[in-house]
C-alpha cells in the first residue's frame, strides 16, 4: 500500500520578512525566468507585459511564491555580468511588487549584490543555487534583511556541473552539505531556511533518481524541503521526450517527491502542482483514518 511519508517534528512555517507562511499541506513556487536562454521558457518573459501576465496566471492558479531569476542555470550556461542580471530582475521585481503586493517574491541568485538590490526592492526570499558557496557575503546579506533563505546543493557550476559528476553516496553527501550550510546560515543570523537537494545540478540520471528515492532522509535536518524537477532532463531522458512535452512526467515525479514529504514544489506549471498537493493530502488524510 502506498504510504505518505510522515515527517513529524519538522518545521512547517517560514517567516518571510515578517510574513509568517504555513507550509502544512504544501506550497507552490512559480518560476519566472527573465532570461533569454533558460532551458524551457527562455525568452518568453523578458518584457514587462508578459511577465505581469504570467505572474497573474500563476497567482490565480494558487502559487504562494514567485521565484524571479535573471541568470540561466541550465547545464552549460554562459556567465553574465552582475549588471546584466540586475537589469533583468530589478525592474521585474518592482513591477510585480506594485501590481501584486500580496505575492511573496523570491530572487533566484547566487550573488549577494543582486540579492541585496532585490531585497531592497521588496523580495522576501533568496533562492541560492550555490548554497552560499558562490559569494562569501551572501549569508550576511540575507541575515541583514531578515529574509528566508533557500539553500540548494550543486556540484560544480552551471557551466561544468554535468561533466561527469561523481559521488560515493549522493544522498549522504547532499545531506551533509545541506546540514553544514544550514548551520552556517544559522550562525550568520538567518532563522528561516528551506533545503533543496538540487535535482539536475551536478547529478547524472542515476544519481538524480537515487536522490529522489531517498528524499525522505532530508527530514532528519528538520527544515522545510523544496524540490525543483520541472521539465528537467531527468524526466526527458527516461521518457525520451523534450521539455515542452514533459508536463505529465513532471507531475509524476512531483507526486513522488510530495509523498516523501516535500513541502514546496518549484514549477513552471502551477495548476498541476497544486493538484499534486491536493491529491496527496487526500491520500494522507485517508490513511490517518485507518
Of 134, 121, 133, the closest CA to residue 88 belongs to 121
In whole angstroms, what is the distance from residue 87 CA to residue 24 CA?
Answer: 36
**Enzyme catalytic residues:** 232, 266
- Other beta carbons less than 10 A from residue 78's beta carbon: 8
In whole angstroms, what is the distance from residue 22 CA to residue 44 CA?
Answer: 31
Decide: 108 and 92 in contact? Cβ < 8 Å: no
75 grid coordinates = 547545464
The gap from C-alpha 86 to its chain's centroid, in whole angstroms, comes to 20
**C-alpha count within 13 angstroms, C-beta hemisphere, residue 163:** 7
**C-alpha count within 13 angstroms, C-beta hemisphere, residue 223:** 26
37 grid coordinates = 536562454
34 grid coordinates = 527573465
Task: Name the helix (H) or strand (E) containing 193.
Answer: strand 193-196
Question: What distances in angstroms separate CA 98 from CA 52, 91, 121, 242, one per listed residue?
Answer: 10, 11, 10, 36
Sorted by sequence, the CB contacts under 8 Å of residue 139 that are 6+ apart come out as 132, 149, 184, 185, 188, 190
Of 127, 109, 106, 204, the closest CA to residue 161 belongs to 204
| Degrees, nearest 5: CA angle 10-14-20 | 130
Of 25, 124, 127, the closest CA to residue 70 belongs to 127
Amino acid at each position: 500500500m502506498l504510504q505518505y511519508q510522515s515527517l513529524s517534528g519538522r518545521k512547517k512555517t517560514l517567516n518571510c520578512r515578517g510574513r509568517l507562511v504555513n507550509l502544512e499541506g504544501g506550497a507552490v513556487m512559480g518560476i519566472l525566468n527573465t532570461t533569454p536562454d533558460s532551458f524551457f521558457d527562455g525568452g518568453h518573459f523578458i518584457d514587462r507585459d508578459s511577465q505581469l501576465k504570467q505572474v497573474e496566471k500563476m497567482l490565480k492558479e494558487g502559487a504562494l511564491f514567485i521565484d524571479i531569476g535573471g541568470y540561466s542555470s541550465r547545464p552549460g550556461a554562459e556567465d553574465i555580468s552582475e549588471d546584466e542580471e540586475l537589469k533583468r530582475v530589478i525592474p521585474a521585481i518592482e513591477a510585480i511588487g506594485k501590481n501584486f503586493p500580496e505575492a511573496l517574491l523570491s530572487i533566484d541568485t547566487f550573488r549577494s549584490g543582486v540579492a541585496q538590490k532585490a531585497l531592497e526592492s521588496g523580495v522576501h526570499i533568496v533562492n541560492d543555487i550555490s548554497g552560499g558557496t558562490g559569494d562569501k557575503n551572501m549569508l550576511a546579506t540575507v541575515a541583514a534583511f531578515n529574509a528566508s533563505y533557500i539553500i540548494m546543493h550543486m556540484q560544480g557550476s552551471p557551466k561544468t556541473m554535468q561533466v561527469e559528476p561523481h559521488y560515493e553516496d549522493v544522498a549522504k553527501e547532499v545531506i551533509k552539505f545541506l546540514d553544514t550550510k544550514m548551520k552556517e546560515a544559522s550562525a550568520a543570523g538567518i532563522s528561516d531556511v528551506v533545503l533543496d537537494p538540487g535535482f539536475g545540478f551536478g547529478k547524472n540520471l542515476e544519481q538524480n533518481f537515487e536522490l529522489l528515492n531517498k528524499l525522505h532522509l532530508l527530514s532528519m535536518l528538520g527544515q522545510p524541503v523544496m524540490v525543483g524537477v520541472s521539465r528537467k532532463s531527468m524526466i526527458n531522458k527516461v521518457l525520451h521526450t523534450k521539455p515542452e512535452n514533459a508536463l505529465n512526467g513532471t507531475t509524476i515525479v512531483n507526486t513522488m517527491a510530495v509523498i516523501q514529504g516535500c513541502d514546496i514544489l518549484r514549477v513552471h506549471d502551477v495548476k498541476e502542482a497544486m493538484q499534486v498537493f491536493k491529491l496527496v493530502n487526500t491520500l494522507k488524510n485517508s490513511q490517518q483514518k485507518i
